[in-house]
């Protein structure tokens, strides 16, 4: 049995195919490329019971990942993050079966580690020595750290407003780091020029085909953690949309393998009110989004004014009877506090946006009573300390605590 059942790359737009043994970026037609697997063979060779006995990390699904030789794997133990029941928050929003898939406890503190682990491993397999990418922070941090482990040199360009901790992560890993006075789209334009001048491998979102395969493992894990019985709704804070495209791809592959039955979960793309290109396109029943001018949000990971894979995100929403919804920054911060108060989880603003969206969709009746709902918390709140502002009384040595009612 081969380690990977990867078969080839294909273009979801023009259907042209490419080999996975050579470096490829976009299709000739400009579309991102996706990875295809030999699922007919895999259906005969592999059963879920075999996977159940493997190590709790993403490589337990190695047949469905693109790395062909296990020696090329670059891993920090990423994956199999907890699927945490949220009963108190669930009662608060009348979603009794509410779960958090907590990506805050993965190496680098965000789910970007999944994309980096698979992207860097495959880059190593393909002999890549130097790569470059624009980032809103978290992806750059994860790729810098995994690249360091692989001995690959990385050039990263991120907005000056990106969370400061992510700069430090890139820098300490030895990345060639630049800040741009602008948005991720501006960083992307600078990286594109550098790619041509310096002959670098372009690791921009969806310009290399393998990051999405790493993010796909969130979908595989959710299915396995529910014993291959899929939930009704999955909410995902959507920037470039790779996570959502990946989850959808995972669920379809599992359907093809016959490991899951019935209707797929309704996928929900959650965006911020001041950066909601996917929501706008979905409201207008469009197949692609338009560039969102002057975008801004505290949920920095979803500040993406135009995503290369927008048509794939929208397709996943339409095909699963899902939806797209935008939420406001102040309400996001409120929900972040709610989650910490009620469930003891310090989640990132992007994750809080997705919980807030669940609340809103339940209020509208779009989420029905009793449905099983999974919210992706894409990162740990500890990476965003600056977004929480508090006031604490300062005492002098020898002071008593101020008067308060007795605790009961």
Q: Which chain residues interact with ligand PLP by CB under 6 A? A: 110, 112, 138-139, 237-243, 301-302, 348, 350, 378-379
- Give, as ranges, the residues between 43 and 102 that touch Zn ion (CB under 5 A): none
Contact (Cβ atoms closer than 8 angstroms) between residue 161 and residue 184: no
> Cβ 27 to Zn ion, closest distance in Å?
3
Contact (Cβ atoms closer than 8 angstroms) between residue 231 and residue 374: yes
> Cβ 36 to Zn ion, closest distance in Å?
14
Return d(Cα 114, Cα 357) in angstroms, integer. 24
Tell me, residue by residue from 4 to 23, as one string, x for binding to Zn ion by CB under 5 A and - for no binding: -------x-xx-x-------
Closer to ligand PLP by Cβ: residue 51 or 340 = 340
Closer to ligand PLP by Cβ: residue 224 or 350 = 350
> Cβ 116 to ligand PLP, closest distance in Å?
11
Closer to Zn ion by Cβ: residue 27 or 187 = 27
> Cβ 16 to Zn ion, closest distance in Å?
5
Q: Which does 239 bind (CB under 5 to 8 A by kind): ligand PLP, Zn ion, none?
A: ligand PLP
Place of tokens 């993406």: 304
- Neighbouring residues of 396: CB distance < 8 A, sequence distance ≥ 6: none
> Cβ 224 to Zn ion, closest distance in Å?
32
Return d(Cα 114, Cα 322) in angstroms, integer. 24
Q: Which does 251 bind (CB under 5 to 8 A by kind): Zn ion, ligand PLP, none?
A: none
Q: Which does 29 bind (CB under 5 to 8 A by kind): ligand PLP, Zn ion, none?
A: Zn ion
Closer to Zn ion by Cβ: residue 29 or 388 = 29
- Residue 84: enclosing H or E segment and its boundaries? strand 83-85
Closer to ligand PLP by Cβ: residue 20 or 166 = 166
Contact (Cβ atoms closer than 8 angstroms) between residue 125 and residue 69: yes
Q: Which does 4 bind (CB under 5 to 8 A by kind): ligand PLP, Zn ion, none?
A: none
> Cβ 255 to ligand PLP, closest distance in Å?
21
Closer to ligand PLP by Cβ: residue 180 or 347 = 347
Tell me, residue by residue from 270 to 289, as one string, x for binding to Zn ion by CB under 5 A and - for no binding: --------------------
Q: Which does 14 bind (CB under 5 to 8 A by kind): ligand PLP, Zn ion, none?
A: Zn ion
Strand partners, 103: none
Q: Looking at residue 53, what DSSP letter applies?
A: T
Closer to ligand PLP by Cβ: residue 240 or 277 = 240
Alpha-carbon torsion 196, 202, 207, 209, what sign? positive
Return d(Cα 60, Cα 46) in angstroms, integer. 12
Contact (Cβ atoms closer than 8 angstroms) between residue 180 and residue 160: yes
By beta carbon distance, the residue nearest ligand PLP is 301
- What is the DSSP code string of 111-173? THHHHHHHHHHHHHHTT--EEEEE-SSHHHHHHHHHHHHHT-EEEEEEETTS-HHHHHHHHHT
> Cβ 379 to ligand PLP, closest distance in Å?
3
Q: Looking at residue 28, what DSSP letter applies?
A: T
Contact (Cβ atoms closer than 8 angstroms) between residue 157 and residue 115: no
Q: Is 164 left (phi over 0), alpha (psi -120 to 50) or beta?
A: alpha
**Candidates 24-32, 93-101, 173-181, 217-225; binding stretch for Zn ion (CB under 5 A):** 24-32
CA distances from 84 to 102, 204, 374, 384 (A): 7, 31, 9, 21
Kindly calculate the radius of gyration of the chain based on its CA atoms and give it in whole angstroms. 21
The helix/strand/coil state of 95 is coil
> Cβ 242 to ligand PLP, closest distance in Å?
4
Closer to ligand PLP by Cβ: residue 39 or 108 = 108
Q: Which does 350 bind (CB under 5 to 8 A by kind): ligand PLP, Zn ion, none?
A: ligand PLP
Closer to Zn ion by Cβ: residue 73 or 206 = 206
> Cβ 104 to ligand PLP, closest distance in Å?
9
> Cβ 233 to ligand PLP, closest distance in Å?
17
31 binds Zn ion (CB under 5 A): yes
CA 336 to chain centre: 18
Closer to ligand PLP by Cβ: residue 264 or 348 = 348
**H-type alpha helices, 226-305:** 242-257, 277-283
- CB neighbourhood size of 375 (10 A): 31
Residues found near Zn ion in the complex (CB under 5 A): 11, 13-14, 16, 27, 29, 31
């Amino acid at each position: 049995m081969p380690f990977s059942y990867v078969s080839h790359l294909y273009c979801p737009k023009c259907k042209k195919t490419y080999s996975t043994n050579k470096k490829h970026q976009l299709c000739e037609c400009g579309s991102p490329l996706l990875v295809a697997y030999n699922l007919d063979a895999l259906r005969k060779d592999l059963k879920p019971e075999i996977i159940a006995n493997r190590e709790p990390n993403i490589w337990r699904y190695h047949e469905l990942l693109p790395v062909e030789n296990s020696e090329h794997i670059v891993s920090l133990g990423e994956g199999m993050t907890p699927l945490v029941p949220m009963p108190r928050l669930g009662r608060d929003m009348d979603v009794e079966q509410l779960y958090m898939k907590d990506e805050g406890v993965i190496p680098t503190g965000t789910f970007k580690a999944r994309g980096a682990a698979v992207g860097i491993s495959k880059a190593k397999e393909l002999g890549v020595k130097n790569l470059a990418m624009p980032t809103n922070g978290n992806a750059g941090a994860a790729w810098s750290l995994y690249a360091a482990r692989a001995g690959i040199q990385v050039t990263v360009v991120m907005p000056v407003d990106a969370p400061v901790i992510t700069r430090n992560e890139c820098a300490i890993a030895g990345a060639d780091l630049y800040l741009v006075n602008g948005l991720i789209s501006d960083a992307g334009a600078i990286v594109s020029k550098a790619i041509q001048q310096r002959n670098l491998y372009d690791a921009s979102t969806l310009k290399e085909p393998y990051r999405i395969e790493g993010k796909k493992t969130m979908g595989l894990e959710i299915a396995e953690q529910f014993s291959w019985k899929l939930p009704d709704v999955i909410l995902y804070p959507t920037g470039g949309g790779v996570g959502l495209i990946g989850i959808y791809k995972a669920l379809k592959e599992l359907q093809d393998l016959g490991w899951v039955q019935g209707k797929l979960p309704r996928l929900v793309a959650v965006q911020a009110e001041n950066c909601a290109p996917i929501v706008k396109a979905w409201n207008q029943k469009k197949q692609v989004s338009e560039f969102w001018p002057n975008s801004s949000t505290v949920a920095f990971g979803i500040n993406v004014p135009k995503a290369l894979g927008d048509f794939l995100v929208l397709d996943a929403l339409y095909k699963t009877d899902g939806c797209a919804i935008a939420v406001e920054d102040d309400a996001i911060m409120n929900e972040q506090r709610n989650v910490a108060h009620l469930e003891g989880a310090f989640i990132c603003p992007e994750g809080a946006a997705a919980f807030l969206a669940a609340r809103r969709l339940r209020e509208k009746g779009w989420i029905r009573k009793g449905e099983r709902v999974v919210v992706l918390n894409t990162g740990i709140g500890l990476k965003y300390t600056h977004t929480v502002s508090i006031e604490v009384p300062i005492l002098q040595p020898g002071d008593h605590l101020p008067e308060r009612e007795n605790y009961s």
